[in-house]
Structures are given as C-alpha cells and as structure tokens.
Amino acid sequence: MKNYSKQREAIIAYLDSVYTHPTAEEIVKGVREVIPNISLGTVYRNLNDLVANHKVLILHIDGDKDRYDGHTAAHAHLKCYKCGKVEDIFLKDDQLSVLKEIGGEDFSLDYNALCSGCKIEK
C-alpha cells in the first residue's frame, strides 16, 4: 500500500458511506457506480491490505461470506441468529475501558442474539 490508487479510495469512500457490513461482492457492486470496471480481485486485495492496516474491520460469519466494516471506532457486533443481520452495538466508555483492560486496544466482540427487529416480532 505504497502508492495512491483511485480504486482503493473509492472502496474506502464506499465503506464510509454505508452502515450495512457489506460483503466483497456488495462492495464491488457499490464501487462500480463510480468505477464501472473495477474487478472483484482488486476489491479483495485492497480489503486485505486495509484490514492488515486496521483501516477496515473484517467480520467472519458462520457459514456465510466475510463482511467488512469501514467504521473502525471500537464497537461490538450483534449477529441475529434468526434473520442473519449484523447490527452495531455502541459501547459506553466504561465498557470500552473494561474491554481494553482485558486484552488491549485491538479486539472484536461479537454477540449471537436477536436483532432489534426480530426481538419485537417474537
């Protein structure tokens, strides 16, 4: 990641603009609105670099594709076991300090539970 590339900037801009935890395929579809012929391989390669540099978070989901999150401020994820949706859980300062105390700054915290929508239905 030593040179500028408009493809990478467009990927970052797209991830900044959404709060939906898209897959690589959803990202390439979104970025193609701006760069019509960007290839899926380019998206994967840049996402890997961005993840390695902590600019983007990767979410591994049981039996599903990886998802990506451009909003790196510490937060937890709730994976709904009913509908599969991933929701953000925003952490309070005191919760955050406990998490950092356990094992450092760089963590991921994922919950299996019902999302707000499915909780209401139930």
Contacting positions for a copy of itself (CB under 8 A): 48, 51, 58, 60-63, 76, 78, 89, 91, 94-95, 98-99, 101-104, 106-113
| Nearest distance, CB of residue 14 and a copy of itself, angstroms | 21
Burial of 90 (0-12, 13-18, 19+ CB in 10 A): exposed
* Residue 21 touching DNA (CB under 7 A): no
| Nearest distance, CB of residue 41 and DNA, angstroms | 3
* Residue 41 touching DNA (CB under 7 A): yes
* Residue 43 contacts residue 31 (beta carbons within 8 Å): yes
* Residue 119 touching DNA (CB under 7 A): no
**d(C-alpha 116, C-alpha 121), whole Å:** 9
Q: Provide the token pair at 7.
A: 């493809």
